[in-house]
Amino acid sequence: MSGMAGKEVKNDLLENHGRKVALSYIQRLSEAVGSVVQAKEEAWSYAPPKEDSQIATVGIGLDGTCMLRVRPLVDKSCCNQGSTGNPY
């Protein structure tokens, strides 16, 4: 839901989860989560894993909801809908 506006989150919670939540609560919660992320962001680090082989194919979908998985035991995928470019 990181890419949704507060009203969209409110409607989603009501329609899909049966939860009636005030918009002000969603806004305060988002602000609190953002504050925690900003406080911890400086300490976070991420090093991309070493690849065993070269990547032969990259697939791009319209909305990022589906992907082809050739080897089921390998999961190297990431979905980032945030605006910071950091999926973690």
Per-residue tokens: 73:
């035991």
Please give the average per-residue pLDDT across 29-50, as a whole number: 85
User: In this predicted model, what pLDDT tens digit does every residue of 14-23 receive, in sequence order?
Assistant: 998 999 999 9
Separation of alpha carbons 18 and 11, rounded Å: 10
Report if residue 33 sits inside a domain: yes
Higher pLDDT, 49 or 24: 24
Please give the average per-residue pLDDT across 68-82, as a whole number: 57
Phi then psi for 49, rounded to 5 degrees?
-70, 150
Report if residue 14 sits inside a domain: yes
> What range defines the domain where residue 20 resides?
6-41
Report if residue 85 sits inside a domain: no
Please give the average per-residue pLDDT across 6-35, as a whole number: 91
Report if residue 31 sits inside a domain: yes
pLDDT for residue 28 is more than 80? yes
Higher pLDDT, 25 or 76: 25
Torsion-angle region of residue 73: left (phi > 0), alpha (psi -120 to 50) or beta? alpha
Report if residue 28 sits inside a domain: yes
Cα 76 → chain centroid? 15
Structure confidence at residue 88 (pLDDT): 43
Count of structural domains, the chain = 1
Report if residue 88 sits inside a domain: no
